[in-house]
């Protein structure tokens, strides 16, 4: 992707396992200095909540990846992040 000049990537996914999503997003962000969003659905597989269900990556060393759902936040919710913001600076709307 970096060779193609891609710097914004949005990926819809449908998988019961999302364990490698954060590392893939982090690699893309590091290689391209771009932004990435992987959103997985449905949220529940066989009555188990998938974590992370979404990964947002941004090219800031202090906060390379943000995960959703966020512990302690009721579902459904919307998280609005400022560019480069850490979660405490984010607005969480439920």
| Model confidence, pTM | 0.73
Do you know the residue count of the chain?
Answer: 94
Q: What is the pLDDT along the chain (94 residues), one digit of tens a residue?
A: 778 888 899 999 999 988 899 999 999 999 999 999 999 988 888 888 888 888 888 888 777 787 877 666 666 566 666 666 555 444 444 3
Q: 92, 77 in Cβ contact below 8 A?
A: yes
Tell me the residue range of the domain where 28 lies.
2-93
What is the Cα–Cα distance from 56 to 66, expressed in whole angstroms? 5
Q: Is 39 helix (H, G, I), strand (E, B) or coil?
A: strand
Q: How many domains does the chain have?
A: 1
DSSP state of 5: T
């Amino acid at each position: 992707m970096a060779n193609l000049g891609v710097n914004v990537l949005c990926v819809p996914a449908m998988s019961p396992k999302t364990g490698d999503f954060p590392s893939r997003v982090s690699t893309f962000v590091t290689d391209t200095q771009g932004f990435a969003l992987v959103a997985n659905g449905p949220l529940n597989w066989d009555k188990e909540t998938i974590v992370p269900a979404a990964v947002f990556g941004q090219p800031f060393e202090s906060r390379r990846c943000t995960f959703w759902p966020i512990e302690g936040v009721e579902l459904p919710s919307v998280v609005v992040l400022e560019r480069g913001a850490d979660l405490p600076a984010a607005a969480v709307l439920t």
